Amino acid sequence: MIMNLQRIGVIGAGQMGSGIAHVCALAGYDVYLNDIQRDRIEHGIDIIGGNLARQVARGKISDADKDRAMKHIHPAPSLDAFKDIDLAIEAATEDEQIKRKIFQDLCPKISKTAMIATNTSSISITRLAAVTDRPERFIGLHFMNPVPVMQLVELIRGIATEDETFQTVLGLVKKLGKTPANSEDFPAFIVNRILLPMINEAVYTLYEGVGNVEAIDTAMRLGANHPMGPLQLADFIGLDTCLSVMQVLYEGLADSKYRPCPLLVKYVEAGWLGQKSKRGFYDYRGEKPVPTR
């Protein structure tokens, strides 16, 4: 039996969480947005308002759609606000220990029938589900960034995920106007299993001096017709996220081809994480991005 979802809790009000809250509210769901700090929730809601206004300006939605969506979003400073939700979507940082702690805190706060989804881009769904009291009602729901724009959502069943959970979440993805792609529960799933080793290889190409940042990005934009060069894309994703996905691949598949490039490690150690920290493979502190190598 497919469950009728009405109320959705989103944990994490950052780039991914606010994007997920945005598309769910626009589709008519009541959304409860949670984060560890109240100001982060308020900032996330402000971002959603700005992004909805941008959609109105582009003629994608009407002013009435925007106002309706904003009314569907409720700040949830504590997980106690999740007591009546039908589905919780975790969109915290890509760190397994943080996610495990969230699920342990979450389970006692939600009803026995509520489902849990994780927006992890690489971590084992089966392993995360095992921390909860409902592995059969747990699933991977991996949205792409930026959520309001990107069409794809990866659906990943853990070993225990029941068909009812899968069908319910599949229905949600379709109602959001997204296209689902089903992936087996292997490290980094489909998109990142293919994309991140390419980015890592671009960093190796830089590390070994085959080309500089500009040459590598220009080559892939014009030579492979990619909309964004791999190093520019890495900065957009966040170099810490790129590194954590490569580490999951390397540890999970024990294959040397997934070894994170030492230069990627160095940038993360320096705190040069890309656009969000104003420096990565490009320096974003001036009027336009300047390559750092």
Residue ranges per domain, the chain?
Answer: 7-183, 192-291
Looking at the chain, the whole-number percentage of residues with pLDDT higher than 90 is 98
- What are the start-end ranges of the E strands in 97-137? 115-118
Q: Which residues are catalytic?
A: 121, 142, 154, 192
For 23-48, what is each residue's pLDDT tens digit?
Answer: 999 999 999 999 999 999 999 999 99
Mean pLDDT of 211-232: 98
Contacts of 40 (CB under 8 A, 6+ apart): 13, 14
pLDDT at 2: 78
| CATH class of the domain at 192-291 | mainly alpha
Binned at pLDDT 50, 70 and 90, residue 3 comes out as confident
Question: Does this chain's domain 7-183 share its CATH topology with 192-291?
Answer: no
State whether the Cα torsion 44-190-155-67 is positive or negative.
positive
Q: Which residue has the higher pLDDT, 3 or 197?
A: 197
Instruction: Provide the 3-class DSSP secondary structure of residue 77.
Output: coil
Amino acid at 202: A
What pLDDT score was predicted for residue 106?
A: 98
- Please name the amino acid found at residue 17: G
Q: What is the pLDDT of residues 181-221, one digit of tens each?
A: 999 999 999 999 999 999 999 999 999 999 999 999 999 99
Domain 7-183: which topology?
Rossmann fold (3.40.50)
